[in-house]
Structure 1
Amino acid sequence: MPRSRTIPDEQVFAAVQRLLDRGGDKAVSFGSVAGATGLAAPTLAQRYGSRDGMVRAARLAAWDALEARTVLAIAASAGKGPPGLLKAIGPVDPQGMAADLRDPELIQRAAAWRATVESALALRLGTGEKARESAALLFAAWQGQTLWSALGAPGFRLKDAAKRLT
């Protein structure tokens, strides 16, 4: 009797993310993920309940990873300015974030992450309302740059934006 194959959720989520990156939401099905992972489609259905449940679990895992990466980046970039923090966080998938905005829980996760990043930026920019406002503007500029650079548009230097805001 052949031994059933098991792989961790993280590998399934990575396959889901690759499919989303290549073909969008429509590219993900139990069949496509089964083909990418070697698991049987019924196994995936049993594990996640539905296709949407599988995609949602993958997106929640992506938020977990981003939040953990952000905490590490905040600590690792202590003593560096705002651009150092944003560089330490690294690229954030704007398409994935936009897709998450259809789910109330994922919207809350996005808002909490944004608040965390903006607070860390504000601490690097000074104190008071001006620092908080500048942090919000810098966050928006960073996310806008991420979106447009993913589309091949030329960007700007975050260091220059940070200087103008302080």
Structure 2
Amino acid sequence: MLFEIIRNTPRWVFLLFIVLLITGYRQSRERTASRRSITILPAVFLVLALYGVVSAFGTDPVGLTLWAFGVTLSVALHLKLAIPRGVRFSPERQAFHLPGSWQPLIIMLAIFFAKYTVEVIRARQLPIADTAVFTAAVSLLYGLFSGVFLGRAMVMWRAAQLSQVRT
């Protein structure tokens, strides 16, 4: 059964997996980033997660509400815990200095495997795919995951604001 699932997986999915591995590995290293690059990843993951909810469940109000709740909860936790830590902003260079972290890779892979699993369940037309619990759980999970990247970006933007107030 597993071999059949992998065999029927479109080739672009494997390419996406490799791109995510490379992107996540790059984020595990200390680096500098512009405001623009800090904004792109959360925007992409928000759009993809919302698309994932709508493509899987339509415009179900419960699914969309739980997705938004997940995003909000994840962002609030990041702001409260100030994750990521150690972010510095250089007003002169208009760039962020970011410590390396494996968290983005872990989250990207968790999103990838969650989305892959949901699509396999839907493609195999398993009975669970039509339940309200499945819709609610997947919508909330997609929201929590995409909120991680938005929360991280908001912590970084806050670091930039604080550094500009100090100068």
User: Aligning the two structures, in what range does the TM-score lie when normalised by the shorter sequence?
Assistant: under 0.3
Tell me which structure has the larger Cα radius of gyration: 1
Q: TM-score, normalised by structure 2?
A: 0.26
- Which of the pair is proportionally richer in strand? 2
Higher relative contact order (CA closer than 8 Å, sequence separation 6+) = 2
